Structure formats: C-alpha cells, structure tokens
C-alpha cells in the first residue's frame, strides 16, 4: 500500500512539474503575429509622435522599461497606480516626480486594445516602446522577444531597494546588477543609456559639492573637470533649484550614440554613478569596456542591444501567470 501511495505521489509531482514547465513559456519573436499583426506598426507610430513632440521623451520611455524590470521583473508593475491593496511603485524615491511617459503608454495601450482586445500585455508594450525610443534617436534596433504577462501586484519596497541610485558606488552598482542576473558587460552597456535624457539637480548635486578627498571619489579631481564643475554649479547651486535639469550628455543630448563613454573618460559624467565606472575600477575590467565602447560605436550598439534583450527576460511572467491588463494602470477586476 505504501508503495502504491508513493508511486501516486511521485506521478502527481511529475505532472505538476510538467505543467509548471508548460506555464513558463519562452518569449518568442512572432508571439503576436496572428493575434495582433498591426502591433509593431501602432507602437512605432505612437512612439515616433511622442518623441517628435518632445525629444527628451525617448529617454523617459527607455527608463520606464529599466525601472519595470529591476523590480519584480519585466511585468508591467511600474505602471500600476494605487488601487485596492496595490501600493504603486510610482511613489518610490527613485520614481516619484521622476519617471515620465505614463500617458504615452496609456495612449498606445488604448489603440492596441482597439485593434486587438485583451491580447497584448503592458509588459510587452514597455519592451517594444524602449526599443523604438532608442532606434528613433539614432541608436540600435534589436529583436524584442514577446509573450510576457502582467503582474497583479507591485512592490513599493522593491522599487526603493533595487533601483540604482545616481550616487551609487561601483560596488553597489555591481551588486545591484548581479541581483538581477546581469554582469559587468550589461552594467557598462546599459549605463550607456545615459547618452540621452536629462537629470534633476538633486540627482547630481552631491557629485558637485559633497565629496571627500579620497581615492574612491577621485572622479571629482579629473584635470579636465574644473570647467565642467563650474557649468554644473551654474545650473545646480548648493541649495534650491532641485528640479533644474541638466543633460546627461552635454555634447549630443538628443542622440543615442557612444558619446557618453567619451564623457566618462574625461570626467564629465553627470552622475556619481557614471564616473565611478572609471575612477572606482581598481582592476580595470570596467574601464577597459568604457574605452572599448568609446572607440567603437558599433561595438557599443551591439552590446547594448544584447544587454537589453537579456534585461527584458528578467523574471518574466508567461503562460498562465499574471494577466493581460485591459488598462495598464489597474489590475483587471
């Protein structure tokens, strides 16, 4: 009798395991080919309109995908508003009055729902939008693998804990990326997204004023940095003007290119987290990548595209997990 029970339990376990494997379907390129054939055309057109209207929006839309994937995985949780037990990630320190582009996603979702009701996830929309935002600003275009489903929860605590801060040390950046399954290559390549967009004064004030004369913060003592420091001080005084904006790349702020890495080489990274890539790297592996991307834009573009695909696979929900939200701001009722 015991042997029969053991056999039955083992059989049930195997069936459950098989079902679990079926639920976790891989992302694929042609996921919506039959169910929503106009998806890519709709998304590209709306992103193009948004970026032409406001070029800075390209960086904001790319950032939405980052901030989604680093909290709970690429599941659209960053888009959720407060609602009946759901505490929005939008209220987290790194996101509050900082993340932008939600209305663009709302408009895209509305049009996609009209074309293909209850078919395309908000998480997949974020991935496609990020790719198109980059390519429309002169950056690479990559294959976006699809089939993600949307989370029915958000994590305010996770958003406060796992999103990299603008004053992060190199050690904390490496640990943060490793916690997402991303390595040195992805850290440096994805940091290159700072080749476009802007940051608020409160994000780079510490980079100007609050530092100690030590090896770990020697990025503030680059021989070419004095003039740049004066420019930053004119934008961001020691107090006040917290929301004053400065471009992350002063040279080509509206274009996705490899100029970010030239800036970092010259001590002209806007954020502490930019400059530590060179001046906190004692072993030189990260510095070598910065130099390589600065020398060869195509090399950077290829690495960035591969890193975006890898990031887009972080803890995705597939199969019967999660849901396809009708409205990206709220779970289905």
Interval 264-278: pLDDT, tens:
999 899 999 999 999
- Percentage of the chain beyond pLDDT 90 is 80
Active site includes 67? yes
- Phi, psi values for residue 229, rounded to 5°: -60, -40
Distance CA 129, CA 114 (A): 18
- Percentage of the chain beyond pLDDT 70 is 88
State the chain's mean pLDDT as an integer. 89
pLDDT category, 140, cuts 50, 70, 90? very high
Interval 15-35: pLDDT, tens:
443 333 344 678 999 999 999
Distance CA 254, CA 232 (A): 19
Q: Which residue has the tokens 């009055």?
A: 97
Catalytic, out of 67, 194, 262, 268: 67
Interval 214-242: pLDDT, tens:
344 444 445 556 788 899 999 999 999 99
Give this prediction's pTM: 0.88
The sign of the CA dihedral 203, 209, 215, 219 is: positive
Q: Where are the alpha helices (DSSP H) in the chain?
A: 2-23, 39-53, 57-69, 102-115, 122-136, 156-162, 170-179, 184-191, 201-208, 225-235, 259-265, 272-279, 285-295, 297-311
């Amino acid at each position: 009798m015991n042997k029969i029970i053991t056999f039955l339990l083992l059989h049930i376990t195997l069936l459950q395991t098989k079902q679990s494997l079926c639920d976790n379907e891989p992302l694929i390129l042609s996921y919506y080919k039959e169910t929503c054939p106009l998806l890519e055309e709709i998304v590209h057109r709306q992103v193009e309109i948004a970026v032409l209207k406001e070029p800075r929006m390209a960086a904001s839309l790319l950032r939405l995908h980052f901030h989604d994937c680093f909290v709970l995985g690429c599941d659209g949780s960053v888009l959720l508003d407060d609602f009946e037990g759901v505490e929005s990630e939008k209220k987290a320190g790194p996101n509050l009055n900082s993340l932008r582009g939600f209305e663009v996603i709302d408009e895209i979702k509305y049009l996609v729902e009209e074309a293909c009701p209850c078919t395309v996830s908000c998480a997949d929309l974020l991935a496609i939008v990020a790719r198109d935002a980059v390519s429309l600003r002169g950056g690479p275009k990559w294959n976006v693998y699809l089939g993600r489903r949307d989370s029915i929860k958000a994590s305010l605590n996770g958003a406060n804990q796992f999103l990299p801060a603008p004053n992060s040390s190199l050690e904390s950046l490496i640990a943060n990326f490793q916690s997402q399954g991303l390595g040195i290559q992805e850290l440096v390549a994805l940091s290159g997204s700072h080749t476009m967009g802007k940051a608020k004064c409160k994000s780079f004030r510490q980079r100007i004023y609050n530092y100690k004369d030590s090896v770990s913060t020697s990025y503030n003592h680059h021989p070419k940095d004095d003039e740049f420091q004066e420019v930053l001080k004119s934008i961001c005084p020691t107090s006040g003007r917290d929301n004053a904006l400065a471009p992350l790349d002063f040279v080509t702020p509206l274009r996705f290119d490899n100029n970010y890495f030239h800036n970092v080489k010259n001590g002209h990274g806007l954020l502490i987290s930019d400059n530590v890539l060179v001046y906190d790297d004692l072993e030189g592996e990260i510095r070598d990548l910065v130099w390589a991307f600065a020398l060869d834009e195509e090399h950077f573009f290829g690495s960035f595209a591969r890193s975006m695909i890898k990031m887009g696979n972080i803890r995705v929900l597939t199969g019967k997990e999660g849901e396809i939200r009708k409205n990206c701001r709220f779970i289905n009722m």
